[in-house]
Each structure stands twice: as structure tokens, then as C-alpha cells.
């Protein structure tokens, strides 16, 4: 069984080096061929010489992008590159900073061997971020469920069979948000309990603004669900408060209208033409082994 581990990075070579070291140790007792594809999102820091040493990994390739496109779109570009250029059975995307724990790869493989054609996702059961982030994450999950009817408790950390990769690279939502796209195209998913690890080095580069954009991008994949549910909620609300209609009671109308408008604006990130041409942003490919 051939598994490609997909790791997007930006200016975090120390972390990805430690991650590769840890992956190389973890897979020692797993009967699979593991290779790593690193998508370098136009890092401004130079990669150290002789950065990677490994025994159990079959190979490491580094795809160097010409322009920075962001973590999610590097992940999408990596999926497309693997599908079009690599011999593989499964793709396992994960973050390169240590927050996706290498030891959980064992659980992914065990689960995928049980149901080979069903994707496996890492559902977060414990997080390592600040209380403010945890609170915002809970709010995000509630909003997502209320307005889309979907419960999405995972990010990129997953293991998907080739048949699903084929659907992902032909789905415009993948260019917008990986996890929401996977939910959109699959009816059935297995899961493993996943503990959010601590970063190997430095602090997260993700700003609060970008976290909000990411949250809304997930919801925007299901924009028509949002529109239908918004109209339904407003109709019920109007029926309940009509006798007491005032500026204050009208505020929820304003909030939901603005929210729905933002969701439709962000849904424009779904661009299949851009996704189909994303590999034009590849500068060169380094083969480590």
C-alpha cells in the first residue's frame, strides 16, 4: 500500500525537519510504502542544507511554489500534483508544525485497512490552543451546524483513498476549503480521535482575522444551505416578534443579512479554472531521495 504524506509549509523548516524525523520513526513497524510530498509555499527562508535524514521513508519531494497562495491552497495544489504525477493508493495531508501528531498515522492506517474505500478523518478530541481560541472554535462549530446542518470537527489531517482524491481535484470547493469539500463529496467517513499537538517551534502565524476568514470559508461551501436556513430563521423570527417590531428587534435581520452576504462573497474563492491551473505556480521540484 502506497501512502503519500502531504505537508504544506511556509518558513518553518525546523518544524518540518523534526516532523519528518518523527514520521520516519513512527512508520518503522507499519507495512506500507510511505513517501512525503512537501509543498513549499514560496518560503522566504532558505532551506538548510542536508535538512532531511531518514531510513524508513521511501522518498521526499519538495514542490517549490513561485508565489505564496496560503496553506489551504498549497494543500489543494499538492493533491492535484500527487493525483496527476504520483503512483499512490492514499494521500495523508497533515500540518508541518507538529500540531498533527505523527503517532496517529498508525491509527489512520489501521482504520483504512478495515474500510479501504472510506476516507478517514482526525476528529479533534483535545486542543492545545488558548481559551480564547477554544471559545471561538466552539462558536464556529455552532454557527456551522446552525446555518449548514453540517458538523465538521476535522481539518486537513486525514487519509483519503485515490478514488476520493480524484473527486477532490475535480471539485471547485477544494480550492476554497479542504475539510468542507471532503464533507460535500462524501456521504460516509470514518474517524479516529485526534489530539491537537503543540507546535515544535515558534507561535502560530495564523492571525485572528485569517481564522475568521477560514471559518467563513468552511461555511461558504454550503452557501445555499445558509441562504435557505437564513430565510427560514428570519421568517420564524418575524412571526414571533411582529407585534413588538422595533429597531432593536430588527437587529437580527441585519446580522443575518450581513452574515449571508459575507458567505456568498467568500464562496467566490471556489474557482475551478484557478484550481485546474494551480500547478503553473510550481517553480521546481527537489527530489531528496
**Residue 96 belongs to domain with CATH number:** 3.90.550.10
Give the number of other Cβ atoms within 10 Å of residue 23's Cβ. Answer: 21
C-alpha cell at 213: 476568514
The whole-number pLDDT of residue 212 equals 84
Tell me the C-alpha distance between 283 and 212, whole Å: 31
- Do 234 and 161 lie in one domain? The reply is no
**Mean pLDDT within 55-61:** 94
Mean pLDDT computed over every residue of the chain: 91
C-alpha cell at 19: 516532523
- Do 73 and 193 lie in one domain? The reply is yes
Asked whether residue 142 is assigned to any structural domain, the reply reads no
H helix or E strand, kind and range, residue 67: none
Confidence of residue 201 (pLDDT cuts 50, 70, 90): confident
The whole-number pLDDT of residue 204 equals 65
Give the distance from CA 106 to its chain's centroid. Answer: 20
Provide the Cα torsion 274, 276, 281, 285; round to 10°. Answer: 160
Q: How many CA atoms lie within 13 A of 149 on its CB side?
A: 10
| pLDDT higher at 130 or 25 | 25
Please provide the DSSP assignment of 19-34 as one string. Answer: HHHHHHHHGGG--SEE
Whether residue 203 is predicted with pLDDT greater than 90 in this model: the reply is: no
Asked whether residue 35 is assigned to any structural domain, the reply reads yes
- Do 187 and 240 lie in one domain? The reply is no
**The pTM is what?**
0.91
* Strand-by-strand arrangement of the 190-195 sheet: 190-195, 120-126, 158-161, 90-93, 2-9, 33-40, 59-65, 282-287
- Do 60 and 114 lie in one domain? The reply is yes
Residue ranges with strand state E in 173-265: 190-195
Q: What is the pLDDT of residues 224-273, one digit of tens each?
A: 999 999 999 999 988 888 777 787 888 888 999 999 999 999 999 999 99
- Do 197 and 257 lie in one domain? The reply is no
Alpha-helical regions (H) of 45-130? 71-85, 105-114
Contact 91, 178 (CB under 8 A): no
- Do 66 and 11 lie in one domain? The reply is yes
Tell me the C-alpha distance between 266 and 289, whole Å: 40
Q: What is the pLDDT of residues 4-55, one digit of tens each?
A: 999 999 999 999 999 999 999 999 989 999 999 999 999 999 888 888 889 9
Range of the domain at 259: 223-264
Confidence of residue 123 (pLDDT cuts 50, 70, 90): very high
Q: Which residues of 127-154 are buried (b: 16+ CB within 10 A; e: fewer)?
A: eeeeeeeeebbeebbebbeebbebebeb
- Do 260 and 158 lie in one domain? The reply is no
Asked whether residue 146 is assigned to any structural domain, the reply reads no
Count the domains in the chain.
2
3-state helix, strand, coil in the chain (%, to 5): 50, 15, 30
Alpha-helical regions (H) of 105-207? 105-114, 131-148, 162-169, 178-185
Amino acid at each position: 500500500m502506497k501512502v503519500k504524506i502531504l505537508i504544506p509549509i511556509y518558513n518553518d523548516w525546523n518544524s518540518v525537519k523534526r516532523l519528518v524525523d518523527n514520521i520516519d520513526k513512527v512508520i518503522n513497524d507499519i507495512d506500507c510504502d510511505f513517501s512525503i510530498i512537501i509543498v513549499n509555499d514560496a518560503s522566504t527562508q532558505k532551506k538548510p542544507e542536508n535538512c532531511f535524514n531518514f531510513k524508513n521513508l521511501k522518498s521526499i519531494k519538495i514542490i517549490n511554489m513561485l508565489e505564496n497562495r496560503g496553506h489551504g491552497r498549497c494543500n489543494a495544489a499538492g493533491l492535484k500534483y500527487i493525483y496527476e504525477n504520483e503512483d499512490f493508493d492514499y494521500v495523508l495531508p497533515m500540518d508541518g508544525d507538529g500540531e498533527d501528531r505523527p503517532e496517529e498515522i498508525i491509527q489512520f492506517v489501521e482504520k483504512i485497512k478495515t474500510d479501504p474505500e472510506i476516507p478517514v478523518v482526525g476528529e479533534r478530541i483535545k486542543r492545545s490552543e488558548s481559551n480564547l481560541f477554544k471559545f471561538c472554535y466552539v462558536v464556529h462549530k455552532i454557527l456551522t451546524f446552525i446555518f449548514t446542518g453540517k458538523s465538521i470537527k476535522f481539518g486537513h489531517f486525514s487519509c483519503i483513498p485515490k478514488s476520493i482524491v480524484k473527486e477532490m481535484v475535480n471539485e471547485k470547493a477544494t480550492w476554497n476549503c479542504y475539510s468542507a469539500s471532503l464533507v460535500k463529496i462524501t456521504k460516509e467517513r470514518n474517524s479516529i480521535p485526534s489530539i491537537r499537538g503543540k507546535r515544535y517551534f515558534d507561535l502560530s502565524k495564523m492571525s485572528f482575522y485569517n481564522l475568521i476568514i477560514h471559518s467563513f470559508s468552511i461555511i461558504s461551501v454550503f452557501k445555499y444551505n445558509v441562504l435557505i436556513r437564513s430565510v427560514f430563521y428570519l421568517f420564524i423570527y418575524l412571526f414571533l416578534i411582529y407585534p413588538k417590531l422595533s429597531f432593536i428587534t430588527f437587529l437580527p435581520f441585519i446580522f443575518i443579512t450581513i452574515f449571508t452576504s459575507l458567505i456568498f462573497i467568500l464562496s467566490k474563492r471556489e474557482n475551478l479554472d484557478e484550481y485546474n491551473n494551480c500547478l503553473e505556480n510550481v517553480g521546481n521540484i527537489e527530489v531528496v531521495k
